[in-house]
Chains A and B, each alone.
Chain A
Amino acid sequence: MTMSTLIAERHPSDPLFRADRLPHIWCPGCGIGPAMHAYAQAMVESGIPLARHVCVSGIGCTGRVPGYLNMDSYHTTHGRAIPFAMAIALVKPELEVTVYSGDGDLFAIGGNHFIHAARRNVDINVICINNFNYGMTGGQVGPTTPMGARATTAPFGNYEQPFNLPHLAAATGAVFVARWTSLHLRQLKQAMLRAMKKRGFTFIEVLAPCPVGFGRPNDIGDAMEEMTLYREGCVVDPAAPLDSLDIDLRVKDRPIVLGNFVDVERPVFDPLAMMRPTSEAENNTAVAGKTQEGQ
C-alpha cells in the first residue's frame, strides 16, 4: 500500500463548504473552524434538509462562518444578526434559522437584540463563539473578557465584570441553554442537534481558543495550551446553579462548568397567532415540516 492511498480525495464534509473561499481568515489554532464543522455535521444529522437551514452572522472572525458554508447564509451588519434571523424565522417558519456569531458581536454592540429575542422566545438558534476578546480587530477587551485577563485595551487586566452568558440567556427566557468548548466537539454537536430539534430560542456558548488575540497577552503559549486548559479545567455539570457559571481564570483550580443547563418549554413567539382562527392557533406548534419533539 502506497502512502497516496491513505490520502482521501474528498472529505465527507466537502459538499458543506465553499472551497473557492479558501484559504480562510482564521489564525492557526483558532477554535472557530472545529466548532463550524460541528455545526455542519449537526445540520447533516438533523434530518432537516440542508436547503431548509439558514445561517446568519454578524461581524467579526466568527461572522465569517456563513461565507464558508455552502448553504443559504447571511453576513449582516455588526451586532444585527438576531433581528435578521428573527425576520427570516417569522416569515418562513419552516426554515431552521441559526445565528452563528462571536461574543463581541452578540453581547456588546448587539446585546440588546439578544435579550429581547430571548424574552420573546423567537424560534431561532444562537451559537456564540466566545473567545473572550475582539479577535479580528486585534485583541481588545470585551464584555466576556474574564476579570484580570489582559487585552490590548486592558493592559493592566480587565476590571469589568464580564457576562455569565448561560445565566443571561436563561434569565432572559431561552428554552435551551448549553456551554461547551471547541475541545468538546461531540457534546457540542449533540447540543446543536437538540437546539435544531427544539422550537423557541436556544443558546449555545462555545468557548474557543484565540491564540493570537487572547492567548498571547495572557501567557497562554498557543492553542494547544488553551485546549489543555479546557481539558484540565472544565467539568461537566448540567445541574450546576446558573449563577455559578462565571469564568474567572485568575482563580487557580476554579473549574469552567460545561453542560446542557436549561431545556424547558415556553410558548414560541408567534405574533400572528391571535389573528388566526382558534383551532389553528392551538396547532401553531405543528408548523409544516418542523414538529416539537418531547423531552
Chain B
Amino acid sequence: MTVTTQAAPAATQEQEMLISGSEAIAEALTLADIDVVTAYPIRPYDTVMQAIAKKISGGKLVAEYIVAEGEHSQFEIVKHASTVGARVFCGSSGVGWAYAMECLVVTPALRVPMVAMVGNRALDDPGAFGVEHNDALFVRDLGWLLCWIDSSQEALDTTLIAYRVAEDRRIFLPIAISADGAFLTHSQAITKVPSKSLVDKFLPPYNRGDLQLHPDNPITVAPQVNEDWVIEIRRQNNAATERAYTVIEEAYADFRRVFGRGPENPWFEEYMTEDAEIILMGMGTLSLPVKVAIRKMRQEGKKVGLIRLRWFRPFPYEQLARALGTAKAIGVIDRDYSFGSPFGSGVVATEVRAALYNAERRPPLIGFICGLGGREVTLEDVYKTTEICYSAAKAGKTEQATYWLGVRE
C-alpha cells in the first residue's frame, strides 16, 4: 500500500511516500518513462513487476508490458527493444536470473544499456526464498555494471542514476541493481519521490545514435565475427567498463546538483570509519545490524566502522585501498559463497584482498560468510566478527582466513 505523507519542506519538488524497495524502483521507472518492460514471476523480483503493472493500470506509466513465458525470453525481448531505441527494464531473482544466462551474456557484448533489478535470492538447490548474492554475481565478469542498494531511497535514486550511466554513449552497458530479497524488496520506508520535471533535468532521453536499428539505418546486430574481431571487441567492452569510473562519478555529482541530496562517494558508504581500528565491510541490507552493533560497541569504547560497498562493478579498488589503509584489521562479511576460492573466502573478501595487494599498507583481512539463504545477520554475528578482527589486529596477522558465522553444528 502506498501512503502519501506531507511534502518535504526542503525540496518542494519531492513528495514523501511510504513504499517498499520494489515500489521505489517502480516509482523511478515511471519517472524515467520506460518504454518496454518484460515480466516473468519469481520471488522476490515479482514484487517489482506487480508494482509496474499497477503503475500502468493506474495510468501513471505508458509502456509495453510483455509477460514472457520464461526468463530467457523475458531478457531477449527487452534486449532487442533496446536496440531499436526503447528505454527498457527487466529483472529476476535466483535461478530465474540463471535461466536467463545466455541473454545476460549477450546483453553487454552487444552494448545494450538495459537496467535490470535482481531481487537477490538463494540459488536452488536446496531451495530457499531468502537472500544470497550469488545470483547477481554470475555476471560480474561479463561487462554488466553491478551495484547493491540498502534502502527504498537508494533503490529509487540508483535506478535513475543507472539509466543515466548505462545510456551514456561512453558506456552503453547494462546495469544490474541488486536488492536483498525480503529485507529490502518487501520492507517499506519513507522515500522522497521527485517530480518528473526534476528528473528530466537529470536524465536525458535515450539516444542510441547510429547504433539504432531503423529502416533508414540498416545495420546488423550481433554478426558472427570469429577470431577476426573477438579480442578487439572484448577490449572495447573493457574500455567502456573502465570509463564507467568517470561516468558514475559524474552522474552522482549531477544527481546531487539537481536533487540536492545523494552521496558524495558513489562507490561505498562509510559509517564511523574516521577513527576506526576495525573496519567491517559488506553489501546490501546487512548494514543495518552492523550499524546497530557498531553503535553499541562504540559505547564500550571499541572503535569499529563500516564500509558498505555500493558498486561491485566497476570495483572501486583504488578508493577502497585508501579507505581501508588506516584500519588495524578488516572484516569482510559476505552474503555469498565461492567454493574453492583463495582462502575459501566469499566473493567480496577475495576482491578486496586483490584490491589491497598493491597497497602501501595491507591490514590483516578476515573473510566471514554469514546470513546465507535469508538467515539474519545478527548483532551477535557482528560482535563475533569484531572480536576476531581485534585478535588479528593484536597479532598483526590472520590466524584463520575465513569463518562461517551463525551456522548450526
Contacts and interface: CB of A to CB of B under 8 A. Distances in A.
A153 B39 contact: yes
Interface string B26-53: 0000000000000111110011011001
Contact of A140 (B67, B95, B99, B124): B67
A124 B65 CA distance: 36
Interface string B66-109: 01011100000000000000000000000110010000000000
Contact of B41 (A111, A137, A143): A137
A88 to B, nearest CB: 18
Nearest to B57: A155
Interface residues of A, number: 22
Contacts of B56: 155
Contacts of A140: 39, 41, 46, 49-50, 67
A290 interface: no
B54 interface: yes
Q: Which of A78, A137, A138, A154 has the most CB of B within 10 A?
A: A137
Interface residues of B, number: 23
A153 B53 contact: yes
B356 to A, nearest CB: 39
Nearest to A111: B69
B53 A109 contact: no
A152 B50 contact: yes
A79 interface: yes
A183 interface: no
Contact of A155 (B39, B54, B96): B54
A77 interface: yes
Contacts of B95: 77-78
Contacts of A154: 53, 67
A105 to B, nearest CB: 10
Nearest to A140: B41
A77 B41 CA distance: 15
Contacts of B57: 155-156
A139 B267 CA distance: 38
A153 B42 contact: no
A153 B67 contact: yes
Interface in A82-121: 104, 108-109, 111
Interface string A36-79: 00000000000000000000000000000000000000010111
B53 A155 contact: yes
A153 B124 contact: no
Contacts of B50: 138, 140, 152-153
A137 B42 contact: yes
Given A78-B95, A111-B69, A137-B42, 16 more contacts: A75-B127, A77-B124, A78-B70, A109-B40, A109-B99, A134-B41, A137-B43, A138-B43, A138-B46, A138-B47, A140-B39, A153-B39, A154-B67, A155-B54, A155-B56, A155-B57
Interface of A: 75, 77-79, 104, 108-109, 111, 134, 136-138, 140-143, 152-156, 160
28 contacts: A77-B95, A77-B124, A78-B95, A79-B70, A104-B41, A108-B40, A108-B69, A108-B70, A109-B69, A109-B71, A136-B43, A137-B41, A137-B42, A138-B47, A138-B50, A140-B49, A140-B50, A140-B67, A141-B67, A153-B39, A153-B49, A153-B50, A153-B53, A153-B67, A154-B67, A155-B53, A155-B57, A160-B67
Please provide the 7 A-B residue pairs with the shortest distance between their CB atoms, ordered closest to farther: A155-B57, A137-B41, A109-B70, A108-B69, A140-B41, A137-B46, A153-B53
